[in-house]
Structure 1
Amino acid sequence: MSLRSNVLWNLAGAGLPLLVGAALIPYLVRNIGVEAFGILTLIWALIGYFSLFDLGVGRALTQQVAQQRVAGRSNEVPALVKSGLLFAGVMGVLGGVVLALAVEPLAARGLKVSPALHADVVQALRIAAAAVPLATVTVGLRGVLEAYEDFRAVNLLRLVLGIATFGLPALSVMLFGPSLTWIVAALMGARLVFVVAHWLPVRRHLGRGLGGVRAGRRELRQLLSFGAWMTVSNVISPLMVTADRFVISGVLGAAVVAYYTVPSEVLLRVLILPGALTGALFPRLASLMATDMAAATRVYRRSLLLSAVVLLPISGVLTFGAHWGLSLWLGEAFADRAAPVTSLLALGLLFNGVAFVPFAAVQAAGLARVTAQLHVAEAFVYFPLLIVGLHAFGLAGAAFAWTARVGIDLVLLLVVAHRSVFRRPPGAGLRHNLPTSEPERP
């Protein structure tokens, strides 16, 4: 399947649920209240964040299965996949236990939940903890499908799961009332169904089940040689994307979180555009860098230009039209609080979206250590800036801190991609990830 077709499938898989969310979010806000909806967005973020307990195995499976295929070593793929999925499952259980143990202090002190919601939030968080291993295994299975560039299957599943993310809470409210416990229970049931739904196309690509395949230390080391550094990025980078809302809850209270999370969630959904491109770009670059660096460079430059051209006008419209759009959608009172935040975050949206391309290129070259080091350095700047901004300027200060951080991230990634990826000979950044000989060249 062509890169263009893969991008279109990625857009459909991420974009259509966004339309459903736009239709259902006002219903949820009206029926469960601003504070409860803010907590629901935090639970969405927690499930996504704790799925990173796969320790980068999902992304490593994409990179290394793609390389094994282009090198003609498809017979080694089943053992690689089984090792990765078992590890992702075990780490997911560990992540779920960690979240379960943190439920009481998180609800009581970390989120500053009002007394009326406390019991409901505690139950909802406990159910969310049980969904963590389902999320980590799904990430691994999706990584395999992306390595085979089966973006049709990936995005059909993502489409249904994305619709369920908004649709099931609305259905739960209709049937059981404004209970976060029932909402999260419905979401967990969907996660269980989607593990099975991801496994079926993976099994088809492998041509067999994994019952007779032995998971080995060599395969796990092969994955973790890439995934260990990926984990650092996967932990710190999403933390810098989602930590602001938890810090806001801790500093200003859960009652104001929705004025930040609603525009933040909407703007982050716009990142489906560069995400659709780089989701397809990553396995393609991983293959091209092992065989044709000139072609990889051309694809990279075209992708960088396309991301900038698409996101610049969108960012401008969101910056200057924030109050008008929010007033139409959620009312003028909500817009008065959220519009300044939206305008600041819209500029960060441009920086963050363009950065997807050099980030994909650096990691496709096997340089996960570099992106991890960059994210660690950025965290030392971002979190103090976030706290100072919140105390000095409230929600607008948090938005400025995030925008400044993603701007710095873009500049650093562009420099690394230029100097360390596209000046290398073909395959130079990939050799350490493969225990066997360098892939054959056509």
Structure 2
Amino acid sequence: MSVSRNATYNLIGAVLPILLALVTVPIYLKLVGTDRYGVLAIAWLLLGYFGLFDLGLGRATTYSIAALKDAPAQDRADVFWTAILTNVLMGVLGALVLWGAAAFFFDQIFKVDPALRPEISAAVPFLALAVPIATMTGVLSGALQARDRFLETNMVSVLSTSLFQLLPLFVALAFGPNLSLLLLASVAARAIAIAVLWWRCHLFITKGQKARFDRSQIKELLGYGGWVTVTGLFGPILVILDRFAIGAVLGAKAVTIYTVPFQLAQRITIFPNALVTAVFPRLPTASPEERAALSDKAVRVLLAGISLPILGAIYVLHPFLDLWVGSEIGRPAADVGVLIVFGYWANAFAVVPYSWLQGMGRPDLVTKCLLAQIPPYLVLLYFGMKWFGLIGCAAVFAFRCSVDFLLLWWAARRRLNPAPLIGLVALPMLAGAVISAALDYSDWRWWASGALLGMITAILCWKIAPPELMDRGRALVKRFVP
């Protein structure tokens, strides 16, 4: 199993849909109109949230099948069939709940042209139909990842996301922007992906094995998946609380100023998530020493791989936002954004102990760490906003991300051995955040400080990087520079 190769597959699989979305959103707006696209956006948001009816079975399936790496094939097939049948039942329940919730929301709450309401009502059943398909995707992908089939899962993910965005456009072109047809096309896109995933699972897990439902597996799968689900419920709260608080206290314009850089900074999570998803299937069967070595190496890879680009992003943020959204919003958004970017840099390392704890069968500790952060975070957010406005909110967010890493690492290892190493690299990062915000990018000192801090960060990353990463870097350079 090559972790670096699998991480590369995950990274490509995450980036390509983002690029496709940048292209298709303006086309959607032109073809279906603002109102219909707003309905579609809410429908997809509801579908994503009701994906929680997966109950964490996707990650639980990965953990359970990976732990049975050397067991008889029938044992892995039993886990697979038990997870699938349980997932289908929960998906049907989720579909019924979504049907009622979506019908009520679109009929009673959602503000839209009255002429469009009959079309929306007719489309709701197709939205409900997508729930069991969406929840099943997690189990099928998790099963393949447990068998180290990352190339297949990412190819199917790119295929699914591409079809999900393109099929409704083709339907709108051919038959007009009818919401029922658009949602049916979205369901068809997911169904095609399900068919491909099911075929691959048959080849690598269930082929030649009996289809059996093992009741003894249900408690273990739901016990593990339940904690993952609670994390999925409360984890996003820590990410969205600040914008609700800003909207309630500082107003809509402040939310816009804060949200623009926040959404850009969130893309930082792509790389650490790609890495830990590739590492995760090795953790259930690894010894404590092997887990420790993997986690230490993962932290060093992240430090060496993302620190210099993120320092560059901190400096580029000011001129980029001025150019993209104008200086009226760009300047205050950039002042806030440099702290948010720093926070996401710190948060990138939290995914390592997060994955460690789930990989050793303790997802409950992840949830408990997240829940413990909510009360003090609310208090700090209130005082930060009251005393320092948006800058205070961003600073509290960055501080919370750092604490999140320390809490999860302590829960996983009972020591904080990587903290000094990360703190060393954090010094030029923090200096860059302060200097880039204090100076205008037309000032020569802004450029000089960026170059100096970039050199310091590059040297630190060079010293920190694992030998395997350096060897790959040299090979890549030699490929393009003989």
Distance (Å, rounded) in 2 between the aligned partners of 1:366 and 1:202? 23
* Paired amino acid for 1:161: S
Equivalent pairs counted in the alignment come to 416
Deviation of 1:194 (Å): 1.4
2:91 maps to 1:92: yes
Match of 1:214 among 212, 215, 221: 212
CA contact (8 A) 1:36 1:117 kept: no
In terms of Rg, which structure is larger?
2
Distance (Å, rounded) in 1 between the aligned partners of 2:115 and 2:173? 19
Distance (Å, rounded) in 2 between the aligned partners of 1:388 and 1:320? 28
Distance (Å, rounded) in 1 between the aligned partners of 2:390 and 2:173? 32
In the TM superposition, 1:153-302 aligns within 5 A as 153-168=152-167, 183-208=182-207, 212-241=210-239, 263-289=261-287, 293-302=288-297
Scaled by the length of structure 2, what TM-score is found?
Answer: 0.72
1:314-372 Cα shifts (integer Å, max 9, x gaps): 33333333353345556667756865564443223212222111110111111111111
| More deviation, 16-25/326-335 | 326-335
Partner of 1:433: none
Q: CA RMSD in A?
A: 4.1
Work out which structure has the larger RCO, using CA pairs closer than 8 Å and 6 or more positions apart in sequence: 1
CA contact (8 A) 1:35 1:254 kept: no
Distance (Å, rounded) in 2 between the aligned partners of 1:47 and 1:406? 28
1:393-414 Cα shifts (integer Å, max 9, x gaps): 8887776665444333212112
Q: 1:322 to 1:153 in 2, by over 3 A?
A: same
Partner of 1:345: 340
Distance (Å, rounded) in 1 between the aligned partners of 2:37 and 2:254? 11
Q: 1:329 to 1:88 in 2, by over 3 A?
A: farther
Deviation of 1:417 (Å): 1.9
| More deviation, 300-309/343-352 | 343-352
Distance (Å, rounded) in 2 between the aligned partners of 1:329 and 1:136? 37
Distance (Å, rounded) in 2 between the aligned partners of 1:395 and 1:124? 40
1:105-162 Cα shifts (integer Å, max 9, x gaps): 645887x756689847777776444322111110011110010010010110112223
| More deviation, 411-420/387-396 | 387-396
Distance (Å, rounded) in 2 between the aligned partners of 1:117 and 1:407? 50
Scaled by the length of structure 1, what TM-score is found?
Answer: 0.78
Partner of 1:53: 53
Distance (Å, rounded) in 1 between the aligned partners of 2:116 and 2:306? 40
* Paired amino acid for 2:159: V
2:310 maps to 1:315: yes
In the TM superposition, 1:46-85 aligns within 5 A as 46-70=46-70, 72-85=71-84
CA contact (8 A) 1:315 1:350 kept: yes
Distance (Å, rounded) in 2 between the aligned partners of 1:148 and 1:142? 10
Percent of aligned pairs sharing the same letter: 31
Q: 1:309 to 1:124 in 2, by over 3 A?
A: farther
CA contact (8 A) 2:273 2:351 kept: yes
Q: 1:393 to 1:215 in 2, by over 3 A?
A: farther
Partner of 2:370: 375
Q: Secondary structure at the match of 1:223?
A: helix
Deviation of 1:259 (Å): 6.9
Match of 1:305 among 300, 303, 306: 300
1:12-64 Cα shifts (integer Å, max 9, x gaps): 21122222233444555677788987776554443333212221111111111
Distance (Å, rounded) in 2 between the aligned partners of 1:415 and 1:218? 33
Q: Secondary structure at the match of 1:276?
A: helix
Q: Secondary structure at the match of 2:350?
A: helix
Name structure 1 gaps, 5 residues minimum: 423-442
Deviation of 1:233 (Å): 1.3
1:56-104 Cα shifts (integer Å, max 9, x gaps): 111111111011123x233211111111111112212222333333335
Distance (Å, rounded) in 1 between the aligned partners of 2:201 and 2:155? 14
